[in-house]
Amino acid sequence: MERVRNKVALVTGAAKGIGRATAILLAEEGAKVALTDVDDVAGESVAKEIRDAGGNAIFFHHDVTEEVQWIKVIQSTQDNFGALNILVNNAGMALDGNAEYETLERWRQLMAVNLDGVFLGTKHAIAAMKTGNGSIINLSSVEGIVADPNLAAYNASKGGVRLFSKSAALYCAKEQYQIRVNTVHPGYIWTPMVENFLASLGDLKATRPLAEKLHPIGRLGDPKEIAYAILYLASDEALFVTGSELVIDGGYTAQ
């Protein structure tokens, strides 16, 4: 229960789903955790849940598309906990849309959250970590490795996260910063985002089984299964791991 003992973690999109599971697990494993989200009520609730269980957590309202908010959140994390060792860039959104009919407005909205947010977090976390050590974990997706005809913007954003993270990892290594940068690529995980996305496509009784069949293992993933992968990358067990992509997808991309 001490795999990240005394480390300081910042987890975005921590009010629900993978972010919530990750924040709770990191706290259980000894980290001091700053949770951020635009959903203040749910975010504060998760932070309280962690504290009630004996962990150390604080919540900040945070729009990941705004650079000034990134600067403020990272500084507040350092002010409260004394350092920043782990950044989990988890905040994201999903929209269905193809290359012919997707709108520029929706494209830019999704890119701002999924790609700009990861860029801003990585940029400012490097500045905060470079005199010490750190692990930056950026959430991509199986859709950052393989494509879907109706997820044009989402594919582009998650593919961007994948290669941007490799570039950042190589830069940190070149500069001899003790900062590792890796990506995690979940398959379909049963989170509110996936539930809402599948509901937008039709009756969940019909769309969920279709999503399950995409995975040879025959089911959707659980948020905690992704959180454990993030925990590994955040811990000193992964000191030789950088520029890598960890795929947890029930066999989705093996086909």
Catalytic center residues = 154
- Helix-helix angle 67-81:117-129, to 10 degrees: 40
For residue 216, the tally of other CB atoms under 10 A from its CB is 11
For residue 232, the tally of other CB atoms under 10 A from its CB is 17
- Give alpha helix (H) positions in 112-146: 117-129
Contacts of 237 (CB under 8 A, 6+ apart): 3
Q: Cα–Cα distance between 43 and 65 in angstroms, integer? A: 18
CA separation (Å) from 244 to 101, 137, 163, 167, 190? 33, 10, 10, 11, 24
Distance of CA 124 to the CA centre of its chain: 16
For residue 172, the tally of other CB atoms under 10 A from its CB is 22
- Helix-helix angle 40-52:17-28, to 10 degrees: 20
Q: What are phi and psi of 173, to 5 degrees?
A: -65, -40
Torsion of CA 176, 243, 60, 43, to 10 degrees: -150
